[in-house]
Amino acid sequence: MDMGKISIGVGQLDSREVESLVQNDRNGALCTFVGQVRNSSRGKQVSFLEYGAFISLAEKELFRIAKDAESRWQVDVAIRHRIGRLEVGEISVVVCVGSPHRAEAFEACRWCIDTLKETVPIWKRETGPDGEYWIEGEDALKVGAS
Protein backbone atom coordinates (compact mmCIF):
# COMPACT_ATOMS: atom_id res chain seq x y z
CA MET A 1 0.00 0.00 0.00
CA ASP A 2 1.41 3.33 -1.12
CA MET A 3 0.74 6.19 1.35
CA GLY A 4 0.73 8.52 -1.69
CA LYS A 5 -2.67 7.10 -2.63
CA ILE A 6 -4.23 8.53 0.54
CA SER A 7 -4.81 12.19 1.38
CA ILE A 8 -6.94 14.70 3.21
CA GLY A 9 -6.69 18.33 2.20
CA VAL A 10 -8.30 21.60 1.19
CA GLY A 11 -7.87 21.46 -2.59
CA GLN A 12 -10.56 20.49 -5.07
CA LEU A 13 -10.77 16.81 -5.93
CA ASP A 14 -10.58 15.28 -9.40
CA SER A 15 -11.94 11.74 -9.66
CA ARG A 16 -9.92 11.02 -12.82
CA GLU A 17 -6.71 11.91 -10.99
CA VAL A 18 -7.60 9.50 -8.18
CA GLU A 19 -8.45 6.78 -10.72
CA SER A 20 -5.01 7.22 -12.31
CA LEU A 21 -3.46 6.11 -9.00
CA VAL A 22 -4.93 2.60 -9.35
CA GLN A 23 -4.83 2.15 -13.11
CA ASN A 24 -2.35 -0.46 -14.26
CA ASP A 25 -2.08 -3.39 -16.67
CA ARG A 26 -3.34 -5.85 -14.03
CA ASN A 27 -6.65 -4.09 -13.43
CA GLY A 28 -9.53 -4.65 -15.83
CA ALA A 29 -12.03 -2.88 -13.56
CA LEU A 30 -12.09 0.51 -11.86
CA CYS A 31 -14.86 1.31 -9.44
CA THR A 32 -15.08 4.91 -8.29
CA PHE A 33 -17.29 6.42 -5.61
CA VAL A 34 -17.63 10.20 -5.70
CA GLY A 35 -19.38 11.94 -2.81
CA GLN A 36 -20.54 15.49 -3.39
CA VAL A 37 -22.35 18.15 -1.39
CA ARG A 38 -26.09 17.99 -1.95
CA ASN A 39 -28.57 20.82 -1.47
CA SER A 40 -30.64 19.12 1.23
CA SER A 41 -30.23 16.77 4.16
CA ARG A 42 -32.71 15.36 6.67
CA GLY A 43 -35.49 17.40 5.02
CA LYS A 44 -33.64 20.72 5.39
CA GLN A 45 -31.98 22.94 2.81
CA VAL A 46 -28.15 22.93 2.83
CA SER A 47 -26.25 26.06 1.72
CA PHE A 48 -22.74 24.65 2.26
CA LEU A 49 -20.76 22.15 4.34
CA GLU A 50 -17.61 22.48 6.39
CA TYR A 51 -15.44 19.45 7.02
CA GLY A 52 -12.81 19.27 9.71
CA ALA A 53 -10.44 16.48 10.68
CA PHE A 54 -7.66 15.42 12.96
CA ILE A 55 -5.58 15.02 9.80
CA SER A 56 -2.73 12.79 10.97
CA LEU A 57 -5.10 10.36 12.69
CA ALA A 58 -7.60 10.48 9.82
CA GLU A 59 -4.90 9.73 7.23
CA LYS A 60 -3.67 6.79 9.31
CA GLU A 61 -7.21 5.41 9.43
CA LEU A 62 -7.69 5.92 5.68
CA PHE A 63 -4.40 4.10 5.11
CA ARG A 64 -5.59 1.23 7.33
CA ILE A 65 -8.88 1.00 5.42
CA ALA A 66 -7.12 0.96 2.05
CA LYS A 67 -4.54 -1.57 3.20
CA ASP A 68 -7.24 -3.85 4.64
CA ALA A 69 -9.25 -3.68 1.40
CA GLU A 70 -6.16 -4.37 -0.70
CA SER A 71 -5.35 -7.42 1.40
CA ARG A 72 -8.91 -8.73 1.62
CA TRP A 73 -9.86 -8.38 -2.08
CA GLN A 74 -6.41 -8.26 -3.79
CA VAL A 75 -7.20 -4.82 -5.24
CA ASP A 76 -5.55 -1.39 -5.49
CA VAL A 77 -7.15 1.46 -3.50
CA ALA A 78 -6.85 5.25 -3.56
CA ILE A 79 -8.82 7.60 -1.28
CA ARG A 80 -8.98 11.41 -1.18
CA HIS A 81 -11.11 13.50 1.20
CA ARG A 82 -11.54 17.25 1.35
CA ILE A 83 -11.75 19.46 4.41
CA GLY A 84 -12.76 23.09 4.74
CA ARG A 85 -15.78 24.83 3.23
CA LEU A 86 -17.48 23.05 0.32
CA GLU A 87 -20.30 24.48 -1.75
CA VAL A 88 -23.27 22.50 -3.09
CA GLY A 89 -22.08 20.33 -5.99
CA GLU A 90 -18.43 20.19 -4.92
CA ILE A 91 -16.74 16.82 -4.44
CA SER A 92 -16.02 15.91 -0.82
CA VAL A 93 -14.60 12.39 -1.18
CA VAL A 94 -13.31 10.06 -3.88
CA VAL A 95 -12.68 6.35 -3.36
CA CYS A 96 -11.31 4.39 -6.29
CA VAL A 97 -10.60 0.68 -6.45
CA GLY A 98 -8.77 -1.07 -9.28
CA SER A 99 -9.14 -4.80 -9.65
CA PRO A 100 -8.69 -7.52 -12.27
CA HIS A 101 -12.47 -8.19 -12.04
CA ARG A 102 -15.54 -6.02 -11.35
CA ALA A 103 -17.07 -7.96 -8.45
CA GLU A 104 -14.09 -7.37 -6.17
CA ALA A 105 -13.86 -3.72 -7.27
CA PHE A 106 -17.53 -3.07 -6.38
CA GLU A 107 -17.33 -4.89 -3.05
CA ALA A 108 -14.09 -3.26 -1.96
CA CYS A 109 -15.20 0.23 -3.00
CA ARG A 110 -18.45 0.00 -1.05
CA TRP A 111 -16.67 -1.42 1.98
CA CYS A 112 -14.10 1.41 1.88
CA ILE A 113 -16.63 4.26 1.78
CA ASP A 114 -18.88 2.63 4.40
CA THR A 115 -15.94 2.01 6.73
CA LEU A 116 -14.56 5.51 6.14
CA LYS A 117 -17.92 7.03 7.19
CA GLU A 118 -17.94 4.93 10.37
CA THR A 119 -14.34 5.16 11.58
CA VAL A 120 -12.39 8.12 10.16
CA PRO A 121 -12.24 11.20 12.44
CA ILE A 122 -13.70 13.69 9.95
CA TRP A 123 -16.43 16.04 11.17
CA LYS A 124 -19.12 17.65 9.06
CA ARG A 125 -21.11 20.81 9.78
CA GLU A 126 -24.08 21.62 7.55
CA THR A 127 -25.18 25.23 7.19
CA GLY A 128 -28.53 26.32 5.78
CA PRO A 129 -31.33 28.84 6.31
CA ASP A 130 -32.44 26.93 9.44
CA GLY A 131 -29.01 27.16 11.11
CA GLU A 132 -25.86 25.11 11.52
CA TYR A 133 -25.75 21.43 12.44
CA TRP A 134 -22.89 19.10 13.33
CA ILE A 135 -23.57 15.74 11.70
CA GLU A 136 -22.81 12.47 13.49
CA GLY A 137 -23.90 9.48 11.44
CA GLU A 138 -27.56 10.14 10.69
CA ASP A 139 -27.96 12.41 13.71
CA ALA A 140 -27.59 16.18 13.77
CA LEU A 141 -26.82 18.50 16.67
CA LYS A 142 -27.83 22.13 16.17
CA VAL A 143 -24.92 24.49 16.77
CA GLY A 144 -25.74 26.69 19.74
CA ALA A 145 -28.53 24.38 20.94
CA SER A 146 -28.56 23.25 24.53
Within a domain: 143: no
Q: Which CATH number do you get for residue 49?
A: 3.90.1170.40
Within a domain: 59: yes
The percent of residues above 90 in pLDDT, for the chain, comes to 85
pLDDT of residue 143: 66
Tens-digit pLDDT profile for residues 49-81? 999 999 999 999 999 999 999 999 999 999 999
Encoded amino acid at 53, one letter? A
Within a domain: 102: yes
Q: Find the mean pLDDT for residues 98-109.
A: 98
Q: Find the mean pLDDT for residues 7-11.
A: 95
Within a domain: 142: no
Within a domain: 69: yes
Within a domain: 39: yes
Q: pLDDT confidence of 145, banded at 50, 70, 90?
A: low
Tens-digit pLDDT profile for residues 92-102? 999 999 999 99
Cβ neighbours, 10 Å, residue 102: 12
Q: pLDDT confidence of 2, banded at 50, 70, 90?
A: confident
Measure Cα distances from 6 to 20, 61, 65, 136 in Å: 13, 10, 10, 23
pTM for the whole structure: 0.91
Within a domain: 114: yes
**HSE-CB of 21 using CA atoms within 13 angstroms:** 22
Kindly report the backbone phi and psi dihedral angles of residue 73, in degrees, each rounded to the nearest multiple of 5, phi listed first. -110, 0
The DSSP symbol for 5 reads G
Q: How many domains does the chain have?
A: 1
Q: pLDDT confidence of 87, banded at 50, 70, 90?
A: very high
Q: Can you tell me the distance from the alpha carbon of 20 to that of 113, in angstroms, rounded to the nearest whole number? A: 19
Within a domain: 78: yes
Q: In terms of residue numbers, what domain contains 128? A: 3-137
Of 144 and 120, more confident: 120
Are the C-beta atoms of residues 130 and 117 closer than 8 Å to each other?
no
pLDDT of residue 146: 45
Residue 134 has pLDDT above 90, yes or no: no
Cβ neighbours, 10 Å, residue 112: 26
CA-closest candidate to residue 51, choices 80, 12, 92: 92
Q: Can you tell me the distance from the alpha carbon of 24 to that of 28, in angstroms, rounded to the nearest whole number? A: 8
